[in-house]
Amino acid sequence: MESKTIDISIIVPARDISYSILNAIDLLEIRKLNIEVIIVTYNIADSNNNYSFDKYSELDEVSVITSDFPENGYCFNLGMKKAKGKYLFFMKSDGYVVKNGLISLFEHAEKYSLDMAIAWAKYVGDNGAYINPTHFLGKINSTTFEQTPKLIKNTFPFNRIYRRNFLISDNESVFSDFSNYSNDSKPCIYGYCKAKRIGSVDKVVYIERAEGNKYLIEDIKESILTSMDLDITLCTFEKETQKKMRKFFFIKDLISKLGEYSKTKSFKSKDIKDVKTFLIYNYYLLKYLSPRELTFLKSIYHNDLKKRHVIFDLNFSAFKYIIRQKSIIYYDFIKSFLLFNIGFCFSKISNVNISLIGEREGKTISDNGFAFFKGVGRRINCYFVTNEKNIEEASKHGNVLKYGSPRHLLYVGLARRYFFDVSMLDVSPYWGVFNKNITDSKKLIFLQHGVTALSRTSFYYDYYSMKYRNELPDMLCVSSEFEKKNLISEYSFPEDIIKVTGFSRYDYLPEVAKKQCKNILYIPTWRNWLEHQSLDEFLNSQYYLSIIELTSKLSKWARENDHKITLVLHHKMSKFKIDFNLPCVSFEYMSDLNWENMLSTGRLLVTDYSSVVFDFIRLGKPAITYPFDKETFLAVRGGEMITDKETPFLASCNNSDEVIENIEKIINDEITYLNDEHVFFDYNDRLNCNRILTMADELDRIEL
């Protein structure tokens, strides 16, 4: 009989005939896939189970092998050695696989030549409800691909298929041999570090019963599965992103390492202090951890080490070494926390109505936060929060607080309203810790950084992400009804909190819409996955190479056509200290830029996804978009918000030569793009600050 190609090998450790075994056998009926099931048995005491396994082994598609050890990791490693499938899929003895989901994973992996394809994994409680909140923050039925980044950050090893030739190595075991911990991250870490292409599908593939639920299959309602039948989305990572993921998962494994250490040894008081310090300074990572991991962290924090978890055989000394290397001191946090609470307690017994206004964690005075402060700083009891170098300029328009100063921290607790344009870190450090349970007595007004249109910012600015960070605004400012509808449909914000006010910085746009000057602005958007790169890595990144390629061509064109080029770089790029020494090219960082002057003197804008494009459109000036890494950028960000058809006023280019061609055509008046600015701007006046303040005043009166 001619042997057929196996698409997927399903590996299941088992000591009896469980639901997972029956489910795996049922999967053999899938017509679109050739599947083999490898059952790895251990500790079988019941002769009936032996007989049943023997019967299954008579099937051509089923292999039954025996393990000398009961640990899941050892069983998985043993099963892989026998696997023949192109892809590997791992099941626990209490797991359940959805047939259509498995097909989706396989087709997606084949279509995009993926090394690892990831899907949703669900925990099912006693009543069939989902009990793992970190996996299900969104409205499932309306979700398309906004939550894909959450899939990528999930370390659950059983909700994905791995290309067999990629995963299996002759030199190491894929799973930790003697681990029964269900969230063994070792294969996931290997995938994130080594894979060339990683993808995800928005479908439920794997379901696992929660603790205490003895009736897995019976409690799964059909509606639960059908409601998860969502669109497929591709995500690819560059090397720099994989390195960032590796660091993230290392943090998760340190937690498990503590559990392993606590099995045989006791923590000393100094160790406990080090761990607490680490938790305080890395609290922002806790939102990514599973409930089980959080439970263990709490037990460490409260010196209760009865709960133990197992994953890697690593010692605790590595964890202590990392802490010492970082030289973490938590005095500043404790001081800040005390000052905040003093201010908050005073606010409950006083009638002081103070507003705090900030932008970009106090680093800039060029965005909507400062523009709003200029508009209202002398009219209301408010304070603008900024760093020391900006205090002199900001104080011309009203009261100012130095970011991070004792007085600032006191006023964070005292304030009743917070106006921010990126995150609540604009007005308060440690916001996630300070305001876990008291934001009902505060009003948060989100000014936004710019028009949300050219790309998605989901997983950060959607309703569920902001709510999860305790930053859900009571009022969200937008520029038009068009933008408002997009935020409702794409980001799940309720209609009542979105207010069409216009952006405060538009009150300070230059008076003259078109000024015939010879300065072209190039403003590439920052890529968050580049933050932790070394200089050598950055200089070899697609981001830098694309920018230097276009800037060099712009330099040559400007020299030949008597123009100047201003390259505007994100302030996070300043750490690389790169000097773009090219003829006719000057460069500035966004944090140091005089935006009003730049908008006034700029004749034309070139960008990829910067919302500054709408400032230019508002002034009636031309703009060109050049998204040089469109596939990667949109995969990470979640896709486009609007299409090219909705932006006929923009010239969209696919390469640097097209950018130069379009610049020449625009300068020579050979092409004119349609002006549909009314779609994005409901107001064309200079009363945006007034509208924002009026609508903020109309918010429900605070009840303390």
Q: pLDDT, tens digit, for every residue of 57-68?
A: 677 888 888 888
Distance from C-alpha of 136 to C-alpha of 121, rounded to nearest angstrom:
10
Backbone φ and ψ for 69, nearest 5 degrees, come out as -125, 150
Distance from C-alpha of 556 to C-alpha of 584, rounded to nearest angstrom:
8
**377 Cβ neighbours under 8 A, 6+ residues apart:** 357, 384, 397, 398, 399
Burial of 559 (0-12, 13-18, 19+ CB in 10 A): middle
Q: Is residue 279 scored above 60 in pLDDT? A: no
**50 Cβ neighbours under 8 A, 6+ residues apart:** 44
Domain boundary among 502, 537, 559: 502
Q: Do 81 and 136 belong to one domain?
A: yes
Q: Is residue 600 scored above 60 in pLDDT? A: yes
Higher pLDDT, residue 378 or 674: 378
Distance from C-alpha of 126 to C-alpha of 14, rounded to nearest angstrom:
23
Query: Which residue in 366, 428, 389, 258 sits closest to 615, CA to CA?
Result: 366
Q: In this structure, what CATH number is given to the domain that contains residue 419?
A: 3.40.50.11820
Q: Can you read off the two tokens belonging to residue 186? A: 């070792």
Q: Do 227 and 191 belong to one domain?
A: yes
Distances (CA, A) of 598 to 307, 431, 510, 593, 612: 59, 33, 9, 8, 11
Q: Is residue 232 scored above 60 in pLDDT? A: no
Note the helical H segments in 503-611: 535-539, 542-561, 595-601
Distance from C-alpha of 259 to C-alpha of 12, rounded to nearest angstrom:
26
Burial of 80 (0-12, 13-18, 19+ CB in 10 A): buried
Number of other residues whose CB lies within 10 A of the CB of residue 57: 12
Distance from C-alpha of 673 to C-alpha of 644, rounded to nearest angstrom:
12
Distance from C-alpha of 443 to C-alpha of 460, rounded to nearest angstrom:
20
Q: Is residue 535 scored above 50 in pLDDT? A: yes
- CB 93, CB 20: distance < 8 Å: yes
Q: Residue 518: its pLDDT value, please? A: 87
Q: Do 170 and 197 belong to one domain?
A: yes
Residue in the block written with tokens 């640097």: 656
Higher pLDDT, residue 259 or 408: 408
Residue 174 falls inside a structural domain = yes
Q: What is the DSSP string of 79-92?
A: HHHH--SSEEEE--
- CB 555, CB 565: distance < 8 Å: yes
Distances (CA, A) of 563 to 530, 621, 645, 656, 663: 31, 17, 31, 18, 11
Q: Residue 104: its pLDDT value, please? A: 84
Average pLDDT over residues 368-372: 95
Residues 99-146 have pLDDT tens digits of 677 888 898 888 878 888 888 776 554 333 332 333 332 222 222 222
Single-letter amino acid code for the residue at 22:
L
Q: Residue 454: its pLDDT value, please? A: 66
Helix (H), strand (E) at residue 666: helix 656-667
Question: Taking the mean position of all CA atoms in its chain, how far away is CA 6?
Answer: 36
Residue 696 falls inside a structural domain = no
Task: State how many domains the chain has.
Answer: 4
- CB 557, CB 667: distance < 8 Å: no
CA dihedral 557, 561, 563, 566 (to 10 degrees): 0
Number of other residues whose CB lies within 10 A of the CB of residue 154: 23
Strand, coil or helix: 693: helix
Dihedral sign for Cα atoms in the order 490, 494, 497, 502: positive
Q: Do 221 and 304 belong to one domain?
A: no
Q: Residue 61: its pLDDT value, please? A: 87
Residue 102 falls inside a structural domain = yes
Q: Do 171 and 310 belong to one domain?
A: no
Residue in the block written with tokens 């606590």: 262
Residues 664-690 have pLDDT tens digits of 988 887 766 555 556 788 998 999 999
Number of other residues whose CB lies within 10 A of the CB of residue 244: 18
Q: What is the DSSP string of 280-301?
A: HHTGGGGGGS-HHHHHHHHHHH
Q: In this structure, what CATH number is given to the domain that contains residue 639?
A: 3.40.50.12580
Distance from C-alpha of 519 to C-alpha of 215, rounded to nearest angstrom:
69
Q: Do 212 and 357 belong to one domain?
A: no
Q: Do 147 and 30 belong to one domain?
A: yes
Number of other residues whose CB lies within 10 A of the CB of residue 276: 16
Q: Do 286 and 341 belong to one domain?
A: no
Average pLDDT over the chain reads 73
Strand bridging mode 232-233 / 198-209: antiparallel
Number of H helices, E strands in the chain: 27, 22
Q: Is residue 262 scored above 80 in pLDDT? A: no
- CB 432, CB 337: distance < 8 Å: no
- CB 584, CB 565: distance < 8 Å: yes
- Tell me the residue range of the domain where 82 lies: 8-237
- Report DSSP state, residue 387: -
Residues 617-655 have pLDDT tens digits of 888 888 888 888 876 676 555 555 555 555 555 678 889
Distance from C-alpha of 593 to C-alpha of 519, rounded to nearest angstrom:
15
Residue 2 falls inside a structural domain = no
Average pLDDT over residues 496-513: 86
Domain boundary among 210, 237, 264: 237
Q: Do 537 and 641 belong to one domain?
A: yes
Distance from C-alpha of 447 to C-alpha of 501, rounded to nearest angstrom:
9
Domain boundary among 502, 535, 566: 502
Q: In this structure, what CATH number is given to the domain that contains residue 116?
A: 3.90.550.10
Q: Can you read off the two tokens belonging to residue 47? A: 């002769």
- Report DSSP state, residue 652: E
Share of the chain above pLDDT 70, in %: 62
pLDDT band at 314 (very low <50, low <70, confident <90, very high): very low
Average pLDDT over residues 283-294: 49
Q: Can you read off the two tokens belonging to residue 379? A: 């009219």
Residue 689 falls inside a structural domain = no
Q: Do 537 and 558 belong to one domain?
A: yes
Residue 637 falls inside a structural domain = yes
- CB 584, CB 359: distance < 8 Å: no
Q: Residue 622: its pLDDT value, please? A: 86
Q: Is residue 607 scored above 60 in pLDDT? A: yes
Q: Do 556 and 656 belong to one domain?
A: yes
Residue 313 falls inside a structural domain = yes
Helix (H), strand (E) at residue 475: strand 475-478
Burial of 165 (0-12, 13-18, 19+ CB in 10 A): exposed
Q: Do 170 and 41 belong to one domain?
A: yes
Higher pLDDT, residue 70 or 295: 70
Helix (H), strand (E) at residue 566: strand 564-569
- CB 409, CB 336: distance < 8 Å: yes
Residue 188 falls inside a structural domain = yes
Residues 576-588 have pLDDT tens digits of 888 788 889 988 8
